[in-house]
Amino acid sequence: MPISGSDLVMWKHQFYRQIGSNPISIGNALMEVSDAA
């Protein structure tokens, strides 16, 4: 599924807003993304 540059930026902003300052959430989110890919 193609992703445009602006979509990727929006996703990154939402991603960072969700994880906040919790490094454990970063690992979980990355694992979810790689599983979905």
Query: pTM for this structure?
Result: 0.37
pLDDT digits (tens, 9 = 90+) for 1-37: 676 888 888 888 887 787 776 677 777 878 887 777 6
Query: How high is the pLDDT of residue 21?
Result: 63
SS3 track for 1-37: CCCCHHHHHHHHHHHHHHHCCCHHHHHHHHHHHHHHC
Distances (CA, A) of 10 to 5, 22, 28: 9, 20, 20
pLDDT digits (tens, 9 = 90+) for 27-37: 787 888 777 76
Residue 29 CB contacts under 8 Å (≥ 6 apart), including other chains = 15, 18, 19
